[in-house]
Protein backbone atom coordinates (compact mmCIF):
# COMPACT_ATOMS: atom_id res chain seq x y z
CA UNK A 1 0.00 0.00 0.00
CA UNK A 2 1.38 3.40 -0.94
CA UNK A 3 0.59 6.50 1.06
CA UNK A 4 -1.11 8.90 -1.37
CA UNK A 5 -0.26 11.78 0.93
CA UNK A 6 3.45 11.73 0.25
CA UNK A 7 4.20 8.71 -1.92
CA UNK A 8 6.02 6.90 0.88
CA UNK A 9 5.31 3.17 1.11
CA UNK A 10 3.22 1.95 4.04
CA UNK A 11 3.42 -1.44 5.68
CA UNK A 12 0.89 -4.06 4.56
CA UNK A 13 -2.19 -2.53 6.15
CA UNK A 14 -5.27 -4.69 6.40
CA UNK A 15 -8.28 -3.78 4.20
CA UNK A 16 -9.43 -0.94 6.45
CA UNK A 17 -9.86 1.58 3.64
CA UNK A 18 -11.78 -0.71 1.28
CA UNK A 19 -15.14 0.63 0.05
CA UNK A 20 -18.24 -0.13 2.10
CA UNK A 21 -19.53 -3.67 1.57
CA UNK A 22 -22.99 -5.15 1.06
CA UNK A 23 -22.60 -7.75 3.81
CA UNK A 24 -20.59 -8.13 7.00
CA UNK A 25 -20.22 -10.32 10.06
CA UNK A 26 -18.71 -8.98 13.26
CA UNK A 27 -17.29 -11.55 15.67
CA UNK A 28 -15.93 -10.66 19.11
CA UNK A 29 -13.99 -13.39 20.91
CA UNK A 30 -12.47 -13.72 24.36
CA UNK A 31 -9.41 -15.90 24.84
CA UNK A 32 -9.61 -18.48 27.61
CA UNK A 33 -6.74 -18.41 30.11
CA UNK A 34 -4.07 -20.95 29.26
CA UNK A 35 -4.82 -20.95 25.53
CA UNK A 36 -2.56 -18.06 24.57
CA UNK A 37 -0.08 -20.20 22.63
CA UNK A 38 -2.84 -21.91 20.66
CA UNK A 39 -4.44 -18.58 19.74
CA UNK A 40 -1.04 -17.08 18.90
CA UNK A 41 -0.37 -19.94 16.48
CA UNK A 42 -3.84 -19.68 14.94
CA UNK A 43 -3.40 -16.00 14.04
CA UNK A 44 -1.05 -16.98 11.23
CA UNK A 45 -3.77 -19.12 9.64
CA UNK A 46 -6.28 -16.30 9.14
CA UNK A 47 -4.94 -14.99 5.82
CA UNK A 48 -4.91 -18.52 4.41
CA UNK A 49 -8.53 -19.07 5.38
CA UNK A 50 -9.51 -15.80 3.70
CA UNK A 51 -7.73 -16.85 0.50
CA UNK A 52 -9.29 -20.31 0.54
CA UNK A 53 -12.84 -18.96 0.81
CA UNK A 54 -12.35 -15.91 -1.39
CA UNK A 55 -10.82 -17.98 -4.20
CA UNK A 56 -14.19 -19.65 -4.73
CA UNK A 57 -15.86 -16.35 -5.68
CA UNK A 58 -13.14 -14.14 -7.17
CA UNK A 59 -15.34 -11.05 -7.52
CA UNK A 60 -16.84 -11.40 -4.03
CA UNK A 61 -14.29 -9.01 -2.47
CA UNK A 62 -13.97 -11.06 0.73
CA UNK A 63 -11.81 -9.50 3.45
CA UNK A 64 -11.31 -10.03 7.15
CA UNK A 65 -9.84 -7.31 9.34
CA UNK A 66 -8.45 -8.80 12.56
CA UNK A 67 -7.90 -6.59 15.61
CA UNK A 68 -6.60 -7.31 19.11
CA UNK A 69 -7.82 -5.94 22.45
CA UNK A 70 -5.65 -4.48 25.20
CA UNK A 71 -5.63 -7.41 27.61
CA UNK A 72 -5.10 -9.98 24.85
CA UNK A 73 -2.22 -7.98 23.37
CA UNK A 74 -0.29 -8.22 26.64
CA UNK A 75 -1.00 -11.95 26.83
CA UNK A 76 -0.20 -12.80 23.20
CA UNK A 77 2.82 -10.68 22.20
CA UNK A 78 6.19 -9.92 23.73
CA UNK A 79 7.88 -6.59 23.12
CA UNK A 80 6.34 -3.16 22.49
CA UNK A 81 2.61 -2.59 22.33
CA UNK A 82 0.59 0.15 20.64
CA UNK A 83 0.95 3.31 22.71
CA UNK A 84 -2.75 4.12 22.92
CA UNK A 85 -4.24 0.65 23.26
CA UNK A 86 -6.38 0.39 26.40
CA UNK A 87 -9.77 -0.78 27.57
CA UNK A 88 -12.54 1.42 26.18
CA UNK A 89 -13.76 3.73 28.95
CA UNK A 90 -17.43 4.18 29.76
CA UNK A 91 -19.01 7.59 29.33
CA UNK A 92 -21.68 8.50 31.86
CA UNK A 93 -23.99 11.42 31.26
CA UNK A 94 -26.92 12.67 33.28
CA UNK A 95 -29.36 10.75 31.05
CA UNK A 96 -27.45 8.16 29.00
CA UNK A 97 -24.34 6.03 29.48
CA UNK A 98 -22.15 3.95 27.21
CA UNK A 99 -20.80 0.54 28.22
CA UNK A 100 -17.44 -1.20 28.00
CA UNK A 101 -17.68 -4.94 27.33
CA UNK A 102 -15.09 -7.74 27.06
CA UNK A 103 -13.31 -8.36 23.78
CA UNK A 104 -9.93 -9.91 22.96
CA UNK A 105 -10.19 -10.48 19.20
CA UNK A 106 -12.42 -8.71 16.69
CA UNK A 107 -13.05 -10.21 13.26
CA UNK A 108 -14.60 -7.71 10.83
CA UNK A 109 -15.59 -9.87 7.85
CA UNK A 110 -16.81 -8.13 4.68
CA UNK A 111 -17.92 -9.26 1.22
CA UNK A 112 -20.46 -8.61 -1.49
CA UNK A 113 -22.50 -11.61 -0.36
CA UNK A 114 -23.40 -13.05 3.04
CA UNK A 115 -22.50 -16.54 1.84
CA UNK A 116 -18.80 -15.64 1.77
CA UNK A 117 -18.98 -13.92 5.14
CA UNK A 118 -20.80 -16.86 6.68
CA UNK A 119 -18.38 -19.45 5.30
CA UNK A 120 -15.34 -17.58 6.57
CA UNK A 121 -16.94 -16.89 9.96
CA UNK A 122 -17.69 -20.60 10.31
CA UNK A 123 -14.08 -21.52 9.58
CA UNK A 124 -12.72 -18.89 11.97
CA UNK A 125 -14.96 -20.08 14.80
CA UNK A 126 -13.92 -23.66 14.08
CA UNK A 127 -10.24 -22.67 14.14
CA UNK A 128 -10.45 -20.53 17.28
CA UNK A 129 -13.46 -22.11 18.98
CA UNK A 130 -11.68 -24.61 21.17
CA UNK A 131 -9.52 -21.91 22.73
CA UNK A 132 -11.85 -18.91 22.83
CA UNK A 133 -15.51 -17.98 23.22
CA UNK A 134 -17.67 -15.94 20.86
CA UNK A 135 -19.19 -13.22 23.06
CA UNK A 136 -20.85 -11.24 20.28
CA UNK A 137 -21.89 -12.07 16.72
CA UNK A 138 -23.69 -9.62 14.45
CA UNK A 139 -24.69 -10.18 10.82
CA UNK A 140 -24.90 -6.85 9.01
CA UNK A 141 -26.51 -6.06 5.67
CA UNK A 142 -26.73 -3.19 3.24
CA UNK A 143 -30.08 -1.43 3.64
CA UNK A 144 -31.14 0.29 0.44
CA UNK A 145 -28.70 3.09 -0.48
CA UNK A 146 -26.35 2.76 2.54
CA UNK A 147 -29.11 3.72 5.00
CA UNK A 148 -29.44 2.65 8.61
CA UNK A 149 -32.69 1.35 10.06
CA UNK A 150 -33.56 4.86 11.22
CA UNK A 151 -33.87 5.71 7.52
CA UNK A 152 -30.81 7.95 7.14
CA UNK A 153 -27.73 7.44 4.97
CA UNK A 154 -24.76 6.38 7.11
CA UNK A 155 -21.06 6.93 6.39
CA UNK A 156 -21.50 10.04 4.23
CA UNK A 157 -18.57 11.87 5.82
CA UNK A 158 -16.02 9.06 5.49
CA UNK A 159 -12.67 10.41 4.26
CA UNK A 160 -11.06 8.92 1.15
CA UNK A 161 -7.61 8.87 -0.44
CA UNK A 162 -4.87 10.89 1.24
CA UNK A 163 -7.28 12.32 3.79
CA UNK A 164 -8.27 8.82 4.91
CA UNK A 165 -4.65 7.73 5.28
CA UNK A 166 -3.76 10.81 7.34
CA UNK A 167 -6.67 10.28 9.72
CA UNK A 168 -6.88 6.50 9.96
CA UNK A 169 -3.51 4.83 9.36
CA UNK A 170 -0.74 4.94 11.98
CA UNK A 171 2.41 6.44 10.49
CA UNK A 172 5.55 7.94 12.04
CA UNK A 173 3.75 8.80 15.28
CA UNK A 174 4.15 5.11 16.22
CA UNK A 175 7.06 3.85 14.05
CA UNK A 176 6.84 0.27 15.30
CA UNK A 177 3.20 -0.01 14.23
CA UNK A 178 3.12 1.88 10.93
CA UNK A 179 0.21 0.69 8.81
CA UNK A 180 -2.02 -0.17 11.76
CA UNK A 181 -5.11 1.53 13.13
CA UNK A 182 -7.29 1.73 16.23
CA UNK A 183 -10.89 0.58 16.06
CA UNK A 184 -13.88 1.08 18.37
CA UNK A 185 -17.04 -1.01 18.04
CA UNK A 186 -20.46 -0.56 19.65
CA UNK A 187 -23.75 -2.37 19.10
CA UNK A 188 -26.72 0.01 19.24
CA UNK A 189 -30.32 -1.14 19.56
CA UNK A 190 -33.00 1.20 18.18
CA UNK A 191 -36.44 1.85 19.58
CA UNK A 192 -38.09 2.20 16.19
CA UNK A 193 -41.57 2.45 17.70
CA UNK A 194 -40.60 5.64 19.52
CA UNK A 195 -38.49 6.91 16.61
CA UNK A 196 -41.34 6.55 14.16
CA UNK A 197 -43.62 8.69 16.32
CA UNK A 198 -41.44 11.67 15.33
CA UNK A 199 -42.19 13.67 12.24
CA UNK A 200 -39.63 13.60 9.46
CA UNK A 201 -38.65 17.16 10.39
CA UNK A 202 -38.05 16.11 14.02
CA UNK A 203 -35.95 13.16 12.86
CA UNK A 204 -33.90 15.45 10.63
CA UNK A 205 -33.32 17.79 13.58
CA UNK A 206 -32.02 14.84 15.62
CA UNK A 207 -29.58 13.83 12.88
CA UNK A 208 -28.77 17.24 11.35
CA UNK A 209 -29.22 15.95 7.81
CA UNK A 210 -32.07 15.62 5.30
CA UNK A 211 -33.71 12.19 5.34
CA UNK A 212 -34.63 11.90 1.67
CA UNK A 213 -31.83 13.89 0.02
CA UNK A 214 -29.03 13.23 2.58
CA UNK A 215 -28.03 16.90 2.44
CA UNK A 216 -26.50 18.23 5.66
CA UNK A 217 -28.40 21.09 7.23
CA UNK A 218 -26.88 24.56 7.34
CA UNK A 219 -24.97 25.11 10.58
CA UNK A 220 -27.26 27.92 11.72
CA UNK A 221 -30.30 25.67 11.31
CA UNK A 222 -28.96 22.66 13.18
CA UNK A 223 -30.20 21.83 16.67
CA UNK A 224 -27.35 22.03 19.23
CA UNK A 225 -27.90 18.38 20.17
CA UNK A 226 -27.98 17.05 16.59
CA UNK A 227 -25.81 14.02 15.93
CA UNK A 228 -23.80 15.80 13.23
CA UNK A 229 -23.05 18.67 15.61
CA UNK A 230 -21.70 16.59 18.49
CA UNK A 231 -19.64 14.17 16.39
CA UNK A 232 -17.70 16.77 14.42
CA UNK A 233 -14.28 17.52 15.95
CA UNK A 234 -11.51 19.87 14.85
CA UNK A 235 -7.86 20.24 15.81
CA UNK A 236 -6.13 23.41 17.04
CA UNK A 237 -5.76 24.62 13.44
CA UNK A 238 -9.44 24.14 12.64
CA UNK A 239 -8.96 20.98 10.58
CA UNK A 240 -11.74 18.43 10.98
CA UNK A 241 -10.65 15.18 12.61
CA UNK A 242 -11.99 12.18 10.71
CA UNK A 243 -12.63 8.50 11.31
CA UNK A 244 -13.68 5.80 8.84
CA UNK A 245 -17.06 4.31 9.77
CA UNK A 246 -18.14 0.98 8.32
CA UNK A 247 -21.43 0.79 10.22
CA UNK A 248 -23.95 -1.89 9.26
CA UNK A 249 -27.65 -2.34 10.02
CA UNK A 250 -28.76 -5.62 11.61
CA UNK A 251 -31.98 -6.97 13.01
CA UNK A 252 -34.41 -9.77 13.75
CA UNK A 253 -37.99 -8.85 12.94
CA UNK A 254 -39.49 -11.71 14.96
CA UNK A 255 -37.86 -10.41 18.13
CA UNK A 256 -38.30 -6.73 17.22
CA UNK A 257 -34.53 -6.23 17.39
CA UNK A 258 -33.34 -3.41 15.16
CA UNK A 259 -29.91 -1.89 15.37
CA UNK A 260 -26.73 -0.41 13.99
CA UNK A 261 -23.31 -1.93 14.53
CA UNK A 262 -20.96 1.03 14.85
CA UNK A 263 -17.35 0.46 13.85
CA UNK A 264 -14.90 3.34 13.55
CA UNK A 265 -11.22 3.21 12.55
CA UNK A 266 -8.78 6.02 13.40
CA UNK A 267 -5.06 6.52 13.89
CA UNK A 268 -5.76 7.46 17.51
CA UNK A 269 -8.66 6.27 19.67
CA UNK A 270 -8.78 9.73 21.27
CA UNK A 271 -10.83 11.02 18.32
CA UNK A 272 -13.54 8.38 18.58
CA UNK A 273 -13.59 8.61 22.36
CA UNK A 274 -14.04 12.38 22.19
CA UNK A 275 -17.00 11.85 19.88
CA UNK A 276 -18.52 9.37 22.34
CA UNK A 277 -17.96 11.74 25.24
CA UNK A 278 -19.76 14.49 23.35
CA UNK A 279 -22.63 12.15 22.57
CA UNK A 280 -23.17 10.73 26.05
CA UNK A 281 -21.92 13.42 28.43
CA UNK A 282 -22.72 16.35 26.14
CA UNK A 283 -20.96 19.41 24.75
CA UNK A 284 -21.43 21.41 26.82
CA UNK A 285 -22.17 18.89 29.57
CA UNK A 286 -25.83 17.95 29.55
CA UNK A 287 -26.29 18.69 25.83
CA UNK A 288 -26.25 15.01 24.87
CA UNK A 289 -26.89 13.52 21.42
CA UNK A 290 -30.62 13.45 20.73
CA UNK A 291 -30.26 10.12 18.91
CA UNK A 292 -29.50 8.43 22.24
CA UNK A 293 -33.14 8.87 23.25
CA UNK A 294 -33.87 6.21 20.63
CA UNK A 295 -30.62 4.20 20.37
CA UNK A 296 -29.00 2.31 23.25
CA UNK A 297 -25.39 1.10 23.24
CA UNK A 298 -25.30 -2.47 24.59
CA UNK A 299 -21.64 -3.28 23.80
CA UNK A 300 -18.41 -1.33 23.44
CA UNK A 301 -14.74 -2.24 23.04
CA UNK A 302 -11.45 -0.92 21.64
CA UNK A 303 -8.82 -2.79 19.63
CA UNK A 304 -5.65 -2.26 17.65
CA UNK A 305 -5.56 -3.43 14.04
CA UNK A 306 -1.99 -4.46 13.19
CA UNK A 307 -0.72 -5.04 9.66
CA UNK A 308 -1.30 -8.29 7.85
CA UNK A 309 2.43 -9.00 8.03
CA UNK A 310 2.30 -8.72 11.81
CA UNK A 311 -0.47 -11.31 12.05
CA UNK A 312 1.16 -13.69 9.57
CA UNK A 313 4.34 -13.73 11.66
CA UNK A 314 3.52 -12.35 15.12
CA UNK A 315 6.09 -11.67 17.84
CA UNK A 316 6.60 -14.48 20.34
CA UNK A 317 4.49 -14.88 23.43
CA UNK A 318 5.63 -13.00 26.54
CA UNK A 319 7.97 -15.06 28.70
CA UNK A 320 6.25 -17.11 31.36
CA UNK A 321 7.15 -15.80 34.83
CA UNK A 322 9.19 -18.22 36.88
CA UNK A 323 7.11 -19.87 39.59
CA UNK A 324 7.48 -18.40 43.03
CA UNK A 325 8.75 -21.04 45.41
CA UNK A 326 7.58 -21.10 49.00
CA UNK A 327 10.42 -20.60 51.47
CA UNK A 328 11.77 -23.76 53.09
CA UNK A 329 10.51 -23.88 56.63
CA UNK A 330 13.18 -23.65 59.31
CA UNK A 331 13.04 -26.49 61.78
CA UNK A 332 13.60 -25.65 65.44
CA UNK A 333 16.92 -26.72 66.87
CA UNK A 334 16.86 -29.85 68.92
CA UNK A 335 17.40 -29.34 72.63
What 8-state DSSP symbol labels residue 260? E
Which domain covers residue 209, as residue numbers?
23-312
pLDDT in tens, 131-172: 999 999 999 999 998 899 999 998 888 999 999 999 999 998
What count of Cα atoms within 13 Å lies in the side-chain half-sphere of residue 39? 24
Question: From residue 47, how far is each of 51, 55, 135 by CA, in Å?
Answer: 6, 12, 22
133: in domain = yes
Annotated catalytic residue within 104, 136, 154, 289? 154
Q: How far apart are CA 264 and CA 243, in angstroms?
A: 6
Q: How far apart are CA 197 and CA 309, in angstroms?
A: 50
Question: From residue 295, how far is each of 108, 119, 216, 252, 259 by CA, in Å?
Answer: 22, 31, 21, 16, 8
35: in domain = yes
**Exposed/middle/buried for 21, CB within 10 Å: 0-12, 13-18, 19+?**
buried
18: in domain = no
In the residue annotation, 172 being an active-site residue is answered as: no
Is residue 280 within 8 Å of 289, Cβ to Cβ? yes
Q: Which residues of the chain have pLDDT under 50?
A: 1, 7-9, 335
pLDDT in tens, 109-141: 999 999 999 999 999 999 998 899 999 999 999
Give φ, ψ of 85 to 5 degrees: -80, 125
8: in domain = no
What 8-state DSSP symbol labels residue 127? H
Cα 260 vs. chain centroid, distance in angstroms? 13
327: in domain = no
In this structure, what is the dihedral angle of CA atoms 310, 313, 316, 317, given to the nearest 10 degrees?
A: 70
328: in domain = no
If one counts the domains in the chain, the total is 1
Question: From residue 39, how far is each of 31, 44, 52, 80, 305 by CA, in Å?
Answer: 8, 9, 20, 19, 16
Of 169, 171, 174, nearest to 267 (Cα)? 169
180: in domain = yes
319: in domain = no
Amino acid sequence: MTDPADGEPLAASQAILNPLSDSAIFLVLTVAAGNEQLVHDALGDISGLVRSVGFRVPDGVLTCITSIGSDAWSRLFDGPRPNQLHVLPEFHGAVHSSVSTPGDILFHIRAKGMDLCFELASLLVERFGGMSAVVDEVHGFKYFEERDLLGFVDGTENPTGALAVRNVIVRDDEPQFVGGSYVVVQKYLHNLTAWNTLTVEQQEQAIGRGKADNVEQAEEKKAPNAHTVLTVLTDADGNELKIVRDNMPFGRVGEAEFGTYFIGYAKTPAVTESMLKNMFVGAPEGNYDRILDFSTAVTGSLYFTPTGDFLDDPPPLPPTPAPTLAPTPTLPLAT
